[in-house]
Amino acid sequence: MSRCAPVRRRATAVSLAVGVLLPLGAAVPAGATTVVYRDGNDVHLASPDGTLRRQVTTDGSASAYYTLPSADDAGNVVAIQGSGTSRMIVRFPVDGSTPQRNVMPWRIGSGVNAGPTWSRVSPSGTSLAYGYLYNRDIFSALTPTLAVVDPRAPGNPTSPTVNIAGWTEGSWFGSRLLATNGTQLHVEVNGTFQPWLVAGGQSITGGDLSRDGRRVLVRFGSGVLELTTLDGRQPPAGGPVTACQIQPNGNDAFSGLPRMALSADGRRVAWSDASGVHVATVERTDTPETPCRLTDRVRLSATGGMPSFSEYTLPTPGPGPGDPDPDPDPETDPGPGPGPGPEPGPGPGTGTGTEKPGGTTGPGTDGGTTPDGGTTPDGGKGGDGKTPQDGGAAATARLTLSRTPTLRASTLRRGQRIAVGTSTAGTLTVELLRGKTILGRGSAKAKAGTTRATLRLTAAGRKARAVAGRRLVLRITLRPTSGKVTTLRRTIRVR
């Protein structure tokens, strides 16, 4: 991939709607705290480290599945349910009150309208941007169309705030829109789309921008994702400085392309591919030739897809009777995933980087966007089929510690190796807990004998006011290739 080209401006702009002025982006919250995603036919929420989870819907089915979910900063979830022209916008209030349902798409031609092809609720929760393919008549091509409605008001799709052809894969930059015409990335400024980024040699098919305008995550036509650091100026004035790439492992289980999301603070990335939903932290970007350096990487679900971020904080549940540890354990993300690896991704990953456009290409009017959830089997396989399953007839696996390890806070930041005796092969996970909060985590492929896993502080551990001097719980879990899960706990004081 070549380095970023010099910034160039374009003079043209496309009006969103007459008299519509969308306000500037909001202030950046402290950091993304919830990932919203589809798993099977329903909507789920999870903390980025996977320690907290909640299933939002339970009525999804093969013919009435939920797709393209997102949530506002208050935790109200919006998703699409159904198929064909009968798809509904469904809003689930965070207080648990009755969901609100809106029919979509609103505009019906003499042909068949397909969609929504994508959707995203704004951080404020007052607007939902979505796309559909409009068929004017039987002689015209399907036209990708962007619409904006209020998801709180049933019936609003019949009179949207915005309805404009030629735009797809939109997202929110605070209260402003980011969208692509299938080739270039544009950003909304005072009610018009201004041309912004272009990738020489290939198309940009989607983008997500941090709320401070300092980082943008884009998807190339090849399926490669690129996280680009900007020069600090507000888009569309801001230009690329450095970039790094993420290579998904194929396509999302529910659509014909990888899905992606960037947190409000620009530090976390989420993406979905053939091996499920992944979340990771990118502390910094490097030169355009390098893969992104990912930390705190977790696979939230092997069968999930379509992730997005919300600044909503999932409440910590208290343990129920006889259930001291009710939350499912997250799975530490396996390789190869992003970056070079033996498993091929969706494309060669030889993009030319993002730059300010110098051409005069305007919004396209021909289709080509695959409607999500509409052309692939729903509730599909998604996962890699290798996740160990609990239960079975095998003997109970055993865990042993020859001695309680001495943990040091300074070492945990870099990673401290823990030696554990294991009686059988499987997956070993070590965690450092303060109550229900996971302050440290590590994992390794276990074998019969001694297995060593590297324990590192999680994002929660790095944010903790003090780890040193506290009495914490070291939880060690073995998921054998066959047999029951075994857990060992030790109370330990970190030095």
Q: How far apart are CA 434 and CA 436, in angstroms?
A: 6
CB 119 within 8 A of CB 80: yes
Q: Residue ranges per domain, the chain?
A: 14-355, 399-493
Using one digit for the tens of pLDDT, what is the confidence trace for 409-452? 888 888 898 888 888 888 999 999 888 888 889 999 888 888 88
Percentage of residues in the chain with pLDDT exceeding 90?
38
Q: How far apart are CA 444 and CA 450, in angstroms?
A: 11
What pLDDT sits at residue 424? 86
Using one digit for the tens of pLDDT, what is the confidence trace for 214-250? 999 999 999 999 999 999 898 999 999 999 999 999 9
pLDDT band per the 50, 70, 90 thresholds, residue 163: confident
Structure tokens given for 370: 């695959």
What is the pLDDT averaged over residues 293-300? 92
Q: How far apart are CA 64 and CA 42, in angstroms?
A: 10
Using one digit for the tens of pLDDT, what is the confidence trace for 300-321? 999 999 999 999 999 876 443 3
Give domain 399-493's CATH architecture.
Sandwich (2.60)
Write the DSSP assignment of 460-495 as a string of letters.
HHHHSS--TT-EEEEEEEEEESSS--EEEEEEEE--
CATH value of 14-355 in 2.120.10.30, 3.40.50.300, 2.60.120.1060, 3.30.1360.40 = 2.120.10.30
What is the pLDDT averaged over residues 39-66? 93
Taking the CA of residue 8 as centre, how many other CA atoms within 13 Å lie in the half-sphere pointing to its CB? 13
Q: Is the pLDDT of residue 81 over 80?
A: yes
Q: How far apart are CA 459 and CA 37, in angstroms?
A: 21
Q: How far apart are CA 422 and CA 260, in angstroms?
A: 37
Using one digit for the tens of pLDDT, what is the confidence trace for 345-391? 333 333 445 555 544 333 333 333 333 443 332 333 333 333 333 33
End-to-end CA distance of the chain: 45
Q: How far apart are CA 427 and CA 421, in angstroms?
A: 13
Using one digit for the tens of pLDDT, what is the confidence trace for 101-134? 887 766 656 566 677 888 999 999 999 999 888 8
What is the pLDDT averaged over residues 199-224? 92
Poorest-pLDDT segment among 202-211, 245-254, 393-402, 418-427: 393-402
